[in-house]
Amino acid sequence: MKDGPLTTTHEAVAADQAVETAQRPAPLASPTVAVVGLGYIGLPTAAVLASCGARVVGVDVNADTVAAVNAGQVPFVEPDLDAAVSEAVRSGGLRAQAVPPPADVYIIAVPTPFAAGHRPDLSYVEAACDAIAVALTGGELVVLESTSPPGTTQLVADRIMIARKDLSADGSDNRPQVHFAHAPERVLPGRIMHELVANDRIVGGLTPVATERARALYGSFCKGKILMTDALTAEMSKLVENSYRDVNIAFANELSVICDQMGIDVWELIELANHHPRVDILRPGPGVGGHCIAVDPWFIVAAEPKHSRLIRTAREVNDSKPGWVVDRVVAAAERYRKPRIACLGLAFKADVDDLRESPAIEVVRQISEQLPNALIEVVEPHVSALPEELLGKAKLGRLWQSVETADVVVLLVDHSEFKGEGLNLGSIPGKAIIDTRGTWR
C-alpha cells in the first residue's frame, strides 16, 4: 500500500468533480449553431435556437427547402412554426444553405429510416458526418438528434475522426478535441413548437464534458428538466419510449381484431374496461404510423434480436393491421362490379400533413391492388397532392362529393373535418361504413 494521507471516497469524488468542472468549456453567450437537416425536427429546433439568441445556419441538401427557409417560409405544416421561422429570418438569426459552415455546435437532425428487413439505414447520418467533418477545427460540439440505433453516436464520432485524424474525440492526447453527444427529440407533431421548449430533455455524451456542453445548449431554451446520462443510454431511452407506446397500441389493435370476430363493440369494451382504476387501454386504429413509433422498435430488435420477442411481436401486430382493414373493405365491396370507395384521411395522425409511415397509405395501396376495378377517392384536407406510391391508384377528392358517390366509406384518420357537427357520416344509409377510429359510433 502506498504511503501518504488517506483520501475518503467523498473527497475523491469532490476532487474528480472539481477537475471535471475546470475542464468544462465556458458557455457561449451567442453560439453559432449549424442544424443539419431542416425537416420536422431540425427546422423547429433552428427557429427556437435563433429566438434565444443563437446565430443559426440551417443546412439541407434540398434546394427548395433552403430557398423556402431563406424566404422565411415553412415547407410543411406545423402550428406556430411559420411565424417563428419568419421572425428568425427577418431578424438575421436564421439563414439556410446547402453546406455546413464553421460553427460552435452542429446538430444532426436527418432522417433515420430502415432498409429491407427493417435494418437501420444510417446513410443520411453518414452523409451529414462527412459534410460536417470538413468544417471542424476543434472545440466544437456535435449533437446527434436523429433517432438512432444504440451506438450510433459513437459511430458518428468514429466516422468523423477517421476523416479528421488531426482531431480527437476523447481528449486523450494533444490533438484538438471535438465533443459528441446524443439528445433525442421527444415531441408530438402538431405541438412541436410548444413541446420543444416545455418537455424534459435527455442528453448523453461520449464524455462528461460533452454531456455538460449538451446540457448547456438545450438548457438555453428548454424550460423542462435536462436529464443527463451517457450517449448509449440516451439513444436507448428514445427507442424504449416509443416501443412502450407501440406495445400498448398493439394490445388495442389485437383486441379490435378479436372483438370483431366475437361480435363485440371494441370501443364500448375499452370504455368499460378503462373504468378500472389501474387500466388505461389505448384506442385501436388502422395501424401505427409516423417516423418514430413505426420505426424505433425495429432498432431495438436489430440490436438484440434474440431478446426482443415482445417488441417484435407488437411491431408485427401493428404492421398487419392495414391488411386486416383492407380485408374488410374488400368484403364490403365484393357485391359491386366497379365499387366506388372513399378513403378519409391519409396522414399518420389527426390534423397534420405528415404522411411518414402512415398506415392509411398502405391501406389505400392494398385496396387498389386487390380491387383493380375500384374507383378510389382519397380525402385528405392537409395535402394538395397524393404521395408517389398512390399516383395512378387513387385520386384526391372532396369530402361530401366523395362520400355521396361512394359505395364504401373508410375512415382512416380522425381529422377534425370528419368529426364536426353534421358530419356523422356513419349514419348515411345505403353505404358500407368502415370506421377504423371509432369516430362515428
Residues 6+ apart with CB under 8 A from 308: 300, 301
Tell which residue, 10, 40, 1, has the closest CA to residue 356.
40
Among candidate residues 52, 165, 223, 238, the one labeled active-site is 238
Distance CA 363, CA 358 (A): 9
- The DSSP code for 126 is H
Q: Could you count the other beta carbons within 10 Å of the beta carbon of residue 211? A: 23
- The DSSP code for 176 is P
Q: Could you count the other beta carbons within 10 Å of the beta carbon of residue 425? A: 21
Grid look-up 422498435 returns 297
Q: Is 259 an annotated catalytic residue?
A: no
Tell which residue, 141, 122, 147, 128, has the closest CA to residue 207.
141
Using DSSP's 3-state secondary structure scheme, residue 374 falls into: coil
Among candidate residues 2, 52, 259, 292, the one labeled active-site is 292
Residues 6+ apart with CB under 8 A from 138: 167, 175, 176, 177, 178
Distance CA 76, CA 192 (A): 13
Q: Is 238 an annotated catalytic residue?
A: yes
**149's grid cell:** 440505433
Assess contact for 359 and 288: CB atoms under 8 A.
yes
Per-residue burial over 90-121, b = 16 or more CB atoms within 10 Å of its CB, e = otherwise: eeebbbbeeebeebbbbbbbbbbebeeeeebe
Q: Which residues are catalytic?
A: 238, 292
